[in-house]
Chains A and B, each alone.
Chain A
Amino acid sequence: MRKYLDYSWIGIKEHTAYAGAVRANFVSKIVYLYMQFAMWTALFASNAGKDVPMSRDGTLRYVIVATILSAFVECDVIGRINQQIRTGDIANRLIRPMDFRAMVFFRQLGTSAAGLVLYALPLTILIALLYREPLVCSEQLPYGILSVLLAYLIQFLYSLIIGLMAFWLIVTWPLNMLLAAIYKLLSGAWIPAAMFPDLLAKINLFLPFRAIYAIPVSIITTPMSQDSIRSELGVQLLWAVILFGIAELTWHAGRKKLIVQGG
């Protein structure tokens, strides 16, 4: 266990080493959040009386919580695995007496810990000072936290699978860019999933993306019945199991395929 935690420590250090980058990242999150805040406020203000699936406060809560979550849920697992496979560096990892996937996971935990402390917490404090409305449904918060943990796992497994695609693809970034774009829209990190047109919402039911933002953020910010909370958590659990299975298959098939370039 100790040796894995060392990887987490590396992840933390990697993300705290450049103070300038941390500052720029933090500023970019505020830039983003303010734009979302201004946009949704203006949209609701100029469409008074129109039937919108969400309320103004509900939408703002959603956008704020989603942005805070993204500060530690998002990861660079895809890029890192891609690079290790492409350069052959993965061979150096495979000879270590540790499980590759666990190594990646613990390093990611470190990155997330850094994200939590450097971005998520300061953002939360800043928002608590500036936006004086209640942000969360406190009685649903325990379920919300459980849902965030599941979302984190799903995000990681998804990234692991896509990252391992480098075993079969030579150029991986177009796939990453494509998936990142789909992810941005369908996960609900950008626009609340409740506002999607029917067709998009139906397609989304069969994809794992909404389990990463739309479900946990809704549980945290929108009052829901016990039944629907349970079924949403069930959906997440199902996706976690499915993606775990796919990740296992991809990993074992990929290892067989591995040819490290050079002598």
Chain B
Amino acid sequence: MYLLKMYRHFVVIYMKGKLAYHCSLLFELIANTIQIGIYFAGFLVIFRNFDNIAGWSRDEVLFMFTTSWLAYSLSCFFFWSPMKDMGELIRSGKFDLYLTRPIGPMLYMVLQQFQYTFIPRLVLSVYFWIRSMSKLSIAWNAQSLLWYAVNMLSAFVIFSSITVFTGSISFWTVKSEEIVSLLTNNNYGLKNYTDYPVTIYNKGVRFLLCFIVPYAFTGYYPVAGLLGKPLPHPCFAYLSPLIAFVSLVAAKFLWSSGLGHYNSAGA
């Protein structure tokens, strides 16, 4: 409970700082909305010319990747900004500051900010999520709803773990920004691969998306299970929680050993 209270205080201070530049916040949100909107527009343009991809209709694909994007936006509210800055914090030695706080550095970094620039992505995802869901006839029942929620939570954990993982790499190599960008860049990042059914890629890439950077378990596999799509390995539809758990443990381990390894920037 005290965490929530603390988070509220931090966010109020953070947003006050941002609001000091009146229009900048609004512009940021508008610019982000258009950026994400254009992505959806492009997606719709593609599916104006085609009916399906690998047996998935437009609405099925939309439902799949908005499921994943919802979890991604929520995860990024907390983890994206601190982990993106890790390289810079370590290079400049500013990370020392977080070590002197009375709460753990990770907790502090997550709580002290709120990455509101992901709001447009969240809002647009919710819009297209509802729209695509209403066009699909999914037989929801208590069981499938609960399972979907568990998978959504798993997707949140997987995304957060990957982000923390990439941030932790900064403890060893100082240039982690390149890895972050390689994974999450809106134009060419690996994350974009999961906007389409992973069966369109070759075996190596599929393995990469399943077991090395497990993006495929944030949307494709659980949604394929829900929609009753044929899968080469049907059991994969139930693996998301397990993958989430493993990623969490791996990220936690890498972060802790990184902390142990850190010995400031000198001076």
Contacts and interface: CB of A to CB of B under 8 A. Distances in A.
Interface of A: 20-21, 24, 27-29, 31-32, 34-35, 38-39, 41-43, 46-47, 50, 52-53, 171, 173-175, 177-178, 180-182, 184-185, 190-191, 195-197, 200
Given A42-B54, A197-B48, A174 B28 contact: yes
B196 A181 contact: no
The interface residues of chain B, by DSSP majority, are classed as helix
Contacts of A20: 175, 178
Contacts of A28: 181-182, 185, 188-189
Q: What's the interface size class on B, roughly? A: 35 or more
Given A38-B201, A42-B54, A185-B42, A31 B190 contact: yes
Given A24-B181, A28-B185, A31-B188, A47 B34 contact: no
Nearest to B43: A191
Contacts of A184: 38, 42, 187
Nearest to A20: B175
Contact of A191 (B35, B46, B199): B46
10 contacts: A31-B190, A34-B201, A35-B192, A38-B201, A46-B53, A50-B50, A171-B21, A171-B27, A177-B32, A195-B45
Contacts of B27: 171, 174
A174 B32 CA distance: 8
B68 to A, nearest CB: 15
Contacts of A29: 188
B51 A50 contact: yes
Interface in B141-174: none
Contacts of A185: 38, 41-42, 45
A72 B31 CA distance: 26
B196 A39 contact: yes
Nearest to A52: B49
B196 A34 contact: no
Contacts of A200: 45
Contact of B52 (A35, A46, A52, A191): A46
B31 A178 contact: yes
Contacts, number: 105
A174 B53 contact: no
Interface in B31-65: 31-32, 34-35, 37-38, 41-42, 45-46, 48-55
A31 B27 CA distance: 31
Interface of B: 21, 23-24, 27-28, 30-32, 34-35, 37-38, 41-42, 45-46, 48-55, 175, 178-179, 181-182, 185, 187-190, 192-193, 196-197, 199-202, 205
B178 A52 contact: no
A46 B38 contact: no
B35 A181 contact: yes
A227 to B, nearest CB: 26
B30 A174 contact: yes
Contacts of B200: 38-39, 41-42
Nearest to B201: A38
A191 B30 contact: no
A50 B50 CA distance: 7
B50 A32 contact: no
Nearest to B28: A174
Contacts of B192: 35
Contact of B54 (A21, A31, A46, A196): A46
For the complex of A and B, 9 pairs with smallest distance between CB atoms: A32-B188, A174-B27, A42-B200, A24-B178, A177-B31, A174-B31, A181-B38, A181-B35, A38-B200
A248 to B, nearest CB: 28
A109 to B, nearest CB: 24
Contacts of A34: 201, 205
**Which of B51, B55, B185, B187 gathers the greatest number of chain A CB atoms within 10 Å?**
B187
